[in-house]
Amino acid sequence: MRCNMQELMVVTSAKQLQNNKSVFVGTGMPMLAVLLAQRMHAPDLIIIFEAGGVAPRMPILPVSVGDSRTFYKAVAASSMHEVMSLAQAGYMDYGFLGGAQIDVYGNLNTTVIGDHDKPKARLPGSGGANDIGSFCWQTVIIMRQDKRKFSSKLDYITTPGYLTGYDAREKSGLPIGCGPWRIVTQLGIYGFDDESKRMKLLSLHPGVNVEDIKANSSFPIIITEPVPITAEPTKEEISILRELDTLGITSKNS
């Protein structure tokens, strides 16, 4: 069964999540990916939503993190204050976010494009994204990749990555050991260099080459060849994903 670009991104993102872990999830493709992970290989993945839903068993994809379905069969219908406190206390294994812009150190912009006071575009803003990126142990980011989105300089930093690299994140007062971990785009999977904290290519998606990676980034990415190839989604994964995607998230702009 053939899949489109966005289906590949969601399936690949879902595979990054392990069973018996907790994930603080944002709206859109991240929600779809965690539901797929829970259905496929991580039945005991604890999903946590900004509005206070903890470990729900959702019968259908919610519209947003505040949808009442994020409380369905949950172990707790708590509050934003409660789940943010859980993140600050170190109980969130994964954060899962989207973004409009990202830089070489994994800093994210979801606030404005252009000047802050007179922007070209006003974006949704932070919501809980700053808290998620600040306090979850490993943040997974799913987003489309091109030169504007993989930006050498962000118009605004909404969510901290590794700031200016090396130990800048820890020096700012953020917890040691937290930060961006994986980025999944339509071209590949990325991680970060252990020392410099610069973005590095971990895997190329089928049909993509290194030149495609370079042509769709405004900053140099660490690339060590030969680069592994991402596993293609199975028929079962695509079939379940399409069943879950009642909002048509993966069919938009595919």
Catalytic residues: 50
Phi-psi region of 124 (alpha: psi -120 to 50; beta: other; left: phi over 0): alpha
CA distances for 186 relative to 216, 248, 253, angstroms? 11, 17, 12
Report d(CA 13, CA 78) in Å as an integer.
Answer: 27
Neighbour-count burial for 7-34, b at 16+ CB within 10 Å, e otherwise: bbbbbbbbbbbeeebbbbbbbbbbbbbb
Q: How many CA atoms lie within 13 A of 241 on its CB side?
A: 30
Q: At what angle do helices 235-244 and 5-14 cross, to 10 degrees?
A: 100
Total count of residues recorded for the chain: 254
